[in-house]
A and B are shown apart, each in its own frame.
Chain A
């Protein structure tokens, strides 16, 4: 089995682009160096935003056995950094630079019980896991929560494939997911794998801790692209480097600082490792912590932040009206 996470960049041809839900496109790629994708794997690929290249990560929804066809699904997010808009412009025949499937969210076979939890576009990381658990006849429940049925990709396919094992929660039908009720179903022999918005994952994590379940049995992956608030433009001041930089909604603080010539330390660029941590000297506004490196306690303190994913927002509510009235948030930091 390919145990390597060393990125092998290669070209891939887009062979299929089809809508699978509101604003969600399924994109099938033919990689030049095919490798079968394990459940939980993702690919990195290069997108172009305003003529600049940037790296994005997408979960692999599935691949065929020899890995010659590999499917991802991309949600068009107007408030995001622009990668999804580029991906939605793809048409068959176009080429992309991608990596082979990389694995940071492995599914372990052999647990007594599984809960797979997908929120919205997070289903992309979960589809393949559910298929494997079904194949090995595991005891699993697939819980899929979304705003409306029309926005939930692969719903029909999953219903057909998993029958009673699929549990669907739809906000606009009044059947929203009750997180404490869900976590109450987990016992010491249950592994819960989740992918979804940070609010959902935080709620699950908090309940998991309260119920004193084993943390290693709670598995999740975040690409750091979901926050508590919508991204806003904000200003970063770095007295040590004599810099003042405006971070647009579509760019991370780390990228904006790099664009301005600051030599920043980083590694994962998705809020996991803590290497891009900066000290917060002064703040007008609030920090939207989007990382999973800090504990809740550390996030509340807000004396530091991981600038690869976390952002400053104008107010405690994050309401856009406040931003318009009072101007952008301003944060003064000292990098390592």
Chain B
């Protein structure tokens, strides 16, 4: 891996990704008995399930001649067969059958990556497997809680994962990128508070007594049919290293006590985001929108998923254009605004993780 050296690596336009961390490899429903391939942290990975339903992640290249195992098929128990010469591996990546000979070459193994299935995702650890502690999986509890309902999708974002994190850590961009749905002037006019604690960063913004933008007006009317009037709106952005951001968002009837903790007169959502680096220039962006009202309505689940999908399409377009501009202007630096404090703490945390892995030269 390249070590990036710079006077201040925090403002490196894009950072490499830590490897000693859990990333989402796939949605739970994507991984089946039929193997699939996905490039994660620059490495092609074959994902499949065993007969017992356990998710498995192996390097997607046979030990012998590097044919992709994902093009092969799963066999009995936990095994997968290379499609080219029929070599069979178990879920630990060990060869269990080598055609045309009576023994198995003891070197015949492919790397097997630790996986954990949690919060509707298959998480993978691409770094040192001896450090892969399942308790380090970032918290996305709303994904599987009975008190929340919702769904999401994956964006294949053609940009470095860091740019997606920047995007989510500062939501003033909504005013400009998402003017027809969730954007409004008050976003950039209102104050916010940034707090960093260990590997977590929180950015909190309240907008008092404002008109609900179209997306939120619709949600209020789902819960409170015929709702009219002003709202108090909140956005509480929670980052957990290396790349998970859950955003507590919502609006409540103005003056009913939401800022003090009584959200009963409002609607609340959690925008769940977790970004997996694919390459230095592309990312798998897994998101979901979870809500805590009208839990039984599949209609609302679908409407919200499609609505957010449209909003995030606007981000995707911007992020792609930004990455292209970064690549086209290698001589230009990044500058920062006051609104970047959340994103800058994220960069600082990632920088420390990369330094600890020996993959980044610490800034002087």
Contact = CB atoms under 8 A, between A and B. Distances in A.
A295 interface: yes
A215 B104 contact: yes
Interface string A94-114: 000000000011101110000
B319 to A, nearest CB: 29
A298 B140 CA distance: 56
B114 interface: yes
A136 B19 CA distance: 18
Interface string B92-120: 11111000011111110101101000000
B124 to A, nearest CB: 13
B103 A295 contact: yes
B129 to A, nearest CB: 5
A216 B92 contact: yes
Contacts of B107: 104-105, 221, 268, 272
Contact of A66 (B59, B104, B126, B358): B358
B102 A221 contact: no
B204 to A, nearest CB: 38
Given A66-B358, A110-B114, A216-B96, A132 B106 contact: no
Contact of A3 (B43, B92, B103, B132): B43
Contacts of A293: 101, 103, 105
A318 interface: no
A220 B114 contact: no
A222 interface: yes
A220 B358 contact: no
B102 A1 contact: no
Contacts of B114: 109-110
Nearest to B111: A3
Contact of B106 (A3, A110, A136, A272): A272
A190 to B, nearest CB: 13
Interface residues of B, number: 27
B106 A292 contact: yes
A220 B105 contact: no
Interface string A101-140: 0001110111000000000000000000000100110000
Contact of B127 (A1, A219, A298): A1
A105 B127 CA distance: 18
A3 B103 CA distance: 25
A58 interface: no
A3 B105 contact: no
B106 A295 contact: no
A274 B112 CA distance: 26
Contact of A298 (B19, B102, B105, B132): B102
A184 to B, nearest CB: 23
A222 B102 contact: no
Interface string A273-295: 11000000000000000001111
B274 interface: no
B129 A215 contact: no
B102 A109 contact: no
Interface of A: 1, 3, 66, 104-106, 108-110, 132, 135-136, 214-216, 219-222, 268, 272-274, 292-295, 297-298
Given A1-B129, A272-B107, A298-B102, 11 more contacts: A1-B127, A3-B59, A3-B111, A108-B92, A108-B112, A109-B132, A132-B130, A220-B106, A293-B101, A295-B103, A297-B102
23 contacts: A1-B19, A3-B59, A104-B107, A105-B106, A106-B111, A108-B92, A108-B129, A109-B114, A109-B129, A109-B132, A110-B114, A110-B129, A215-B104, A216-B90, A216-B96, A216-B104, A222-B106, A274-B101, A292-B106, A293-B101, A293-B105, A295-B102, A297-B102
Interface of B: 19, 43, 59, 90, 92-96, 101-107, 109, 111-112, 114, 126-130, 132, 358
